[in-house]
Amino acid sequence: EAFAKGFHDAFDSDLLHLFRPEELELLICGSPSFDFEDLEDSTEYDDGYTETSEVVLWFWEVAHKMSLEEKKKFLMFATGTDRVPIRGLGYLQLKISRQGSDSERLPTAHTCFCHLLLPEYSSKEKLEKKLLLAIKHSEGFGTL
């Protein structure tokens, strides 16, 4: 009963009848489709990276083979939420920028801007290790 009251307090009851249950679920939970092909197609590059840069190609190879849980963690790391936008990942507007030459630094992100800062790692294996380490231990503002 408390849930129903809170739900109706947050959403105008007069408008709820306009939606089917699956549409409400989509609005509240986001899209269930983690199509990283769409994300790759819509991503922009900066600071020396292009869609054909070796590190960028390695990044997408690693990203495409991530498990669903790792993809959710990556989205949380890069965007601040693990939910897919209603219209899909193609509408996310991710930007990947070069963050210096090869180093032991982990990738970082500006979540408010969907901006991933990726060092120019010397191998795909190093990129994968550093990226997975970063997303695994990311806690945002310590609210998780």
Report the C-alpha gap between 34 and 85 in whole angstroms: 10
Provide the terminal-to-terminal Cα distance of the chain, rounded to the nearest Å.
Answer: 27
Distance of CA 89 to the CA centre of its chain: 8
Write down the catalytic residue from 112, 139, 142, 144: 112
CA 19 to chain centroid: 27
State the burial class of residue 137 (Cβ atoms within 10 Å of its Cβ: 0-12, 13-18, 19+).
exposed
The rounded distance, in Å, linking the Cα atoms of 44 and 115 is: 9
| Pairing between β-strand 115-120 and β-strand 108-110 as defined by DSSP bridges | antiparallel
Q: Name residues whose C-beta falls within 8 Å of residue 65's C-beta, 6 or more positions apart in sequence.
A: none
- Residue 29 annotated to the active site: no
Active site residues: 112
